[in-house]
Amino acid sequence: MPKLFIPGPVEVSEKTFRAMCRPMIGHRSGDFKKLYGGIQPRLKELFGTTQPVFLSTSSAWGVMEGAVRNLVGTGKVLNCMCGAFSDKWFDVSKKCGKEAVALQVEWGQPVRGEQIREALKAGGFDAVTLIHNETSTGVMSNIEEIAAVMREFPDVCLIVDTVSSFSVVPIPMDALGIDVLLTGSQKALAMPPGLALFSASKKAMDKAATVKGSGYYFDFAEFAKNQLEDMTPSTPSISHIYALESKLEDIFTEGVAKRHARHAENNAIVHEWVRKQGLDFFAPEGFRSKSLTCIANNKGIDVAELAKKAKERGFIIDGGYGKLKGKTFRLSNMGDETPATMRELLAALDACLA
Ligand SMILES: *Cc1c(COP(=O)(O)O)cnc(C)c1O
């Protein structure tokens, strides 16, 4: 099988797959509670929170929609938009019947704190949605800058998607004052798709208690109630939770700081290659993702042909997302990749481009 270097799903290790194949247990059994409760301390440490970390059997979009349904009541939601995923969050908010306001910046640019401040000055907002690392454009917005602005609006909840940046760079939820921090399994965590992880601040939980019509499957109060007994509201994907336990073991054996450093090094190796090839970055300096690189095709490369040749050599790369197809291509350095595996990929691309 060729190896995945697309920005999600990413390559899954043998160890993680093996963990998923453990025998099933009852989701209300003592064994399950031990499994679920046992991973909480490490999850909290990774999230940088003292709040419980909830596990949702859904893709990230389940919780992205759920956060809007739980935290946006009669007020408005400000959707920060700078690429495919963040743009879609605006549509999802409207589909949930919420009064959604678009803060649109050009694809390839970050969302700036100042823009959020200006938008929130109109008043009447319940929440802001932000994608920390916009996977479609390879742009990482400055979460410290944005969190600082949000502290000027204490009545507004900050919902942050970290699907492709979680455990790549530090995102200390409580210290930053993030109200909902969410991620998915198949990107930065290098697990198969199907699980979402999230945590909610006390402010978020208090707000959720006042919002009507948030449904059942993603009801934050249901998650909190079940969490008291180390359980989930409905039968979770227990196989994914085994995989998560195994992944946490990997992360803490390596060390969280070392994991961040490895991703930075992987990313720097790709950046060096981009410069050597005379290619450009789609994202501006200072806002380039640490988990993937979105490369601007300034040399008129036949990207589809490059991807085809790379696949023949055993590497799957992404030929650009949506309207950026062919104009950009993306290389992931997330998950379990190392400087050595990144160099293997880049050597193959060199051969394809020669
Ligand atoms: C992939 C991705 C999502 C969507 O994840 P699903 O698992 O498909 O729901 C959301 N946000 C970001 C930033 C992503 O990269």
Where do we find the tokens 């109060």? 221
Which ligand 1 atom is the nearest neighbour of the CA of 60? 9
Q: Each residue of 143-158: pLDDT tens digit?
A: 999 999 999 999 999 9
Q: Using CA atoms, how far apart are residues 31 and 24, in angstroms rounded to an integer?
A: 10
Listed residue (45, 24, 27, 46) closest to 36, CA to CA:
27
How far, in Å, is the centroid of ligand 1 from the Cα of 135?
Answer: 8
Q: Establish how many alpha carbons lie within 13 A of residue 254's alpha carbon, considering only the half-sphere containing its beta carbon.
A: 19
Whole-Å CA distances, 245 to 13, 20, 251: 14, 10, 10
Q: Residues spanned by CATH 3.90.1150.10 within the chain?
A: 3-8+255-353
Which ligand 1 atom is the nearest neighbour of the CA of 133? 13
User: Ligand 1: residues whose CB is within 6 Å?
Assistant: 8, 59-61, 85, 131, 135, 161, 163-164, 184, 187, 193
Residue among 57, 131, 163 to mutate when testing ligand 1 (max atoms within 8 A of CB): 163
Give the pLDDT score at 354: 93
Q: Measuring from atom 15 of ligand 1, which residue has the nearest CA?
A: 135
DSSP string, 165-184: TBTTB---HHHHT-SEEEEE
Flag whether the pTM goes above 0.95: yes
Q: Residues spanned by CATH 3.40.640.10 within the chain?
A: 15-252
How far, in Å, is the centroid of ligand 1 from the Cα of 130?
Answer: 12
Whole-Å CA distances, 148 to 10, 143, 207: 32, 8, 21
**pLDDT beneath 70: ranges in the chain:** none
Give the pLDDT score at 276: 97
Q: Using CA atoms, how far apart are residues 148 and 162, in angstroms rounded to an integer?
A: 18
How far, in Å, is the centroid of ligand 1 from the Cα of 354?
Answer: 34
Mean pLDDT of the chain: 98
How, if at all, do strands 292-296 and 328-332 pair?
antiparallel
Give the pLDDT score at 224: 98
Q: Where are the beta strands (DSSP E) in 246-333?
A: 280-281, 292-296, 315-316, 328-332
Give the pLDDT score at 171: 98
Q: Each residue of 49-103: pLDDT tens digit?
A: 999 999 999 999 999 999 999 999 999 999 999 999 999 999 999 999 999 999 9
Q: Using CA atoms, how far apart are residues 251 and 289, in angstroms rounded to an integer?
A: 20
- Indicate the fold that domain 3-8+255-353 takes in CATH: Aspartate Aminotransferase, domain 1 (3.90.1150)
How far, in Å, is the centroid of ligand 1 from the Cα of 351?
Answer: 31
Contact 167, 189 (CB under 8 A): yes
How far, in Å, is the centroid of ligand 1 from the Cα of 68?
Answer: 15
Q: Using CA atoms, how far apart are residues 213 and 211, in angstroms rounded to an integer?
A: 7
How far, in Å, is the centroid of ligand 1 from the Cα of 72?
Answer: 21
Give the pLDDT score at 186: 98
Q: Where are the beta strands (DSSP E) in the chain?
A: 3-4, 54-56, 76-81, 99-104, 125-131, 133-134, 139-140, 157-161, 180-184, 196-200, 280-281, 292-296, 315-316, 328-332
Q: Measuring from atom 5 of ligand 1, which residue has the nearest CA?
A: 60
Give the pLDDT score at 291: 98
Token duo for residue 35: 């499994």
Whole-Å CA distances, 303 to 8, 314, 325, 326: 18, 16, 8, 5
Which ligand 1 atom is the nearest neighbour of the CA of 186? 7
How far, in Å, is the centroid of ligand 1 from the Cα of 163?
Answer: 6
- Indicate the fold that domain 15-252 takes in CATH: Aspartate Aminotransferase; domain 2 (3.40.640)
Give the pLDDT score at 47: 98
141 Cβ neighbours under 8 A, 6+ residues apart: 80, 82, 110, 111, 112, 130, 131, 132, 133, 134, 287
Give the pLDDT score at 81: 98
Contact 294, 282 (CB under 8 A): yes
Give the pLDDT score at 119: 98
134 Cβ neighbours under 8 A, 6+ residues apart: 82, 83, 84, 85, 86, 140, 141, 289
